[in-house]
Structure 1
Amino acid sequence: MKNSTIWLIVVFVLLWNSGFIGAEYGLPYTGPFTLIFLRYFAVTVILFFFLFTKKKLKWVGLKTASQHMLIGFLAHGVWLTCALLALDQNVPAGIVALLVALQPMATGALSGYVTKEKISLHQWLGLIIGFVGVVLTVAFRIDFNQSSSIFGYLIPLGSVIAITIATLMQRKMELENKKEKLPLDQVLFYQSFATMLVLFLPALYIEDFSVEWLPNFTLVMIWLILAVSIGAYVAMWLLIERLDATRVASLFYLGPPVTMFMAWLAFGDTIMLTDIIGISIVIVGILFTQN
């Protein structure tokens, strides 16, 4: 694997998982629908003016635009909304992380049918090892005495389904339509525009765009907009161009342990011995999938 790809993986993992920390900071000031709408409204505006000044703002046709908008709706809108709704329902973050970590297994199981890329025994072993590491890391942190609604516990599965479909769709497009490939800035513009449109009505009618515009919230939003909504997703799509869907999906196993480490830095959360052991197992699993 090239050094540039390794660095891209590091950037993606750090930026992507910082979104959970940003959400924990931001949710006390607004609702999940409004938070996501504001993020993608800002991203859409930024990309609009960027493409306009570069003379790259153009209509790419209904078929191409609709494909990218659907991927964006799934990878941005549904994935984030389900995760934030679960957190807003006071579901323990460990349970949310564990459920979302089902995504690599789902991608591995379906990628052969969708992208025709074969999953080797070596990769399957890596996926299983990584999942064991996630389970070990999270199991010792779950508070089984804390109750939440059934909806809260089931909604993260929507994130799994959405990001799995989006990843496979994006990879299939990369393999089949290389000649008609759009630049990454145009792709992200259509994806963020679709996310903004879909989140507008729930943010308006359910939460009335209620926001406490305090300095802390503003700083969090700037990070979520630039680093996570733009930076992390650009890194992910670049990785999908370079690696097969299973290898990219396996990186989501790093979510729970990396997020726990970030929570230790941001909120002073305790790091347990089982966290370190779990992280080590996850890394071994990911190394198996990358070879």
Structure 2
Amino acid sequence: MAPRTGMTLPLVPAAAFVLVWSSGYISGPAAVHAAAPFSVLGWRFTIAAVLAAGLAIALRRPSRMDRATLVRVAAVGLVMNALMFGMMYVAFDLGLGATLASLFHALSPVLTALFAAVLLGERISPLQVGGFVLGVVGVLIVLGSDLGHAGGPWAVLIGVLSMLTLSLGTLGQRWIGAQPDLLWSAAVQFAVSAPPLLVLGWTTEGAWPVTDTRQAVVSVLFLAIVNSIVGLVLLALLVLRGGSGAAASLFFLSPPVTAVLAWVVLDETLSITQLVGLVVAVIGVGAATRTRRTPVPQEPVGTQ
């Protein structure tokens, strides 16, 4: 069934989704400040997989996955979770700020539409192209000429690669073809992402790479329960009520909400020039996503 567009989203779930989505850019840096990034993600996805599978069983949801679909769901999950968020959490560990990370990912839905135009021959409007360009200009203004405040060139580069991987992974959702149950799909994608991250963490970070046990536990549980499960349920509700296009239009609200949360929780501040860049980027992404018709990504809402 084609995604519905132009429909009104329910206010409370929409506001809750934006807050949950944005909070992932706060809990992520908080987690890697207390423990190493690969281990954090491995623990988080292990818990999230158990919760998603348990919820699916409790609700008696049919998986609707044959063997071929299962393989495709798992492959996309590895890209969307292990690879994309693995890179973003490494960028966090290098010093990439929450607001800038949110800006990168806010550009991703528009970049997905551009990839679909180039790779699949889908139509794209001038407003989408212009909005993406304006969004990039805004990000460049936020970055400025000195990348030191953003964690350095490597942090920025890895953050950009995470954005590209998110867009390609979102495009890969179409490769799945079938429409498996959202909870079972998430459980599979979390489950296949946890082992490689745990092994990578064990071999490169040690068996217990924790500097603050309390903060690590709280952050990982918040990531697994709120960002992975609650966010997933909210996204499903929004897509059901308003269509994937309408739900996608909310992503441009994440950077300003993240900026406020980062200021309150992480004591991150933006200069006047960076605030101008943030506004420019948000306007660009907001204009572009209002016309976007490609499906909204399933996994990011659960893995901020």
TM-score range normalised by the length of the shorter chain: 0.7 to 0.9
Once the two structures are overlaid, the 10-residue window that deviates more, 67-76 or 148-157, is: 148-157
Does residue 289 in structure 1 map to residue 289 in structure 2? yes
Find out whether 1:120 has 2:145 as its counterpart: no
Give 1:120-139 correspondences, 5 Å limit.
Answer: 120-136=125-141, 138-139=142-143
CA RMSD of aligned residues (A): 3.4
Does the 8 Å contact 2:99/2:258 carry over to 1?
A: no
Give the conservation status (yes or no) of the 8 Å contact 1:131–1:253. Answer: no
1:1-291 pair list within 5 angstroms:
1-4=6-9, 10-56=15-61, 60-91=65-96, 103-104=108-109, 106-114=111-119, 117-136=122-141, 138-140=142-144, 143-145=146-148, 151-171=154-174, 173=176, 177=177, 180-210=178-208, 211=210, 214-235=213-234, 242-244=243-245, 248=248, 254-285=253-284, 286-291=286-291
C-alpha contact 1:86 1:153 (8 A) present in aligned 2: yes
1:281 shift after superposition? 3.0
Q: 5+ unaligned residues in a row in structure 2: which ranges?
A: 1-5, 292-304
**Taking every aligned residue pair, what percent have the same amino acid on both sides?**
23
For structure 1, the residue ranges without an aligned partner over 5 or more in a row are: none
Query: Across the two proteins, how many residue pairs are aligned to each other?
Result: 282
Change (3 A) 1:54 1:115: farther
2:132 alignment partner AA: L
TM-score in terms of structure 2 length: 0.76
Summarize deviations over 1:155-200 as a string: whole Å, max 9, x none: 2233123211111122465xxx4xx422211111111111112212
Task: Give the secondary-structure state (helix, strand or coil) at the position aligned to 1:263.
Answer: helix
**Change in 2 beyond 3 A, CA 1:158/1:281:** closer
TM-score, normalization: structure 1?
0.79
Q: Which amino acid aligns with 1:287?
A: A
- Equivalent residue letter for 2:214: P
Aligned-pair CA distance for 1:34 = 0.6
What CA distance in whole angstroms lies between the structure 1 residues aligned with 2:108 and 2:76?
Answer: 16
